Amino acid sequence: MRFPLTAQLVDEARRFELRSACRDCLFWRARAQACLHGWPDEGQGRWPLDAPGPDGAPPTEVAFCKEFELR
C-alpha cells in the first residue's frame, strides 16, 4: 500500500514510535535479509520512513505491507 510521505506522518512516526518496516516484522529473516514470504522490497523495508533513497534523494512516498506483523 503506497501513499504520499508527509511531514505530519514523519513527525507522528517519530513521536509515537511507529513500527512498520520489515526489520520490525515477525516474517523478516534477518540472517538472510529476506522476507519469509518472499516478498520483494518495494519500499516497505526502508526505515526511517524519510531515509534517502539509493540516489540520495528524499522519498516522496511511503509503502506499508499488508502482511506486516509486529515482532
Contacts with ligand SF4, residue ranges (CB under 6 A): 22, 25, 27-28, 35, 37, 39, 44, 65, 67-68
Nearer to ligand SF4, 7 or 17 (CB): 17
| Residues present in the chain in total | 71
Closest distance to ligand SF4 from the beta carbon of 13 (Å): 15
Of the candidates 71, 67, 59, 46, the residue with the CA atom closest to the CA atom of residue 3: 59
CA–CA dist 41, 20 (Å, integer): 13
Closest distance to ligand SF4 from the beta carbon of 71 (Å): 9
Nearer to ligand SF4, 5 or 25 (CB): 25
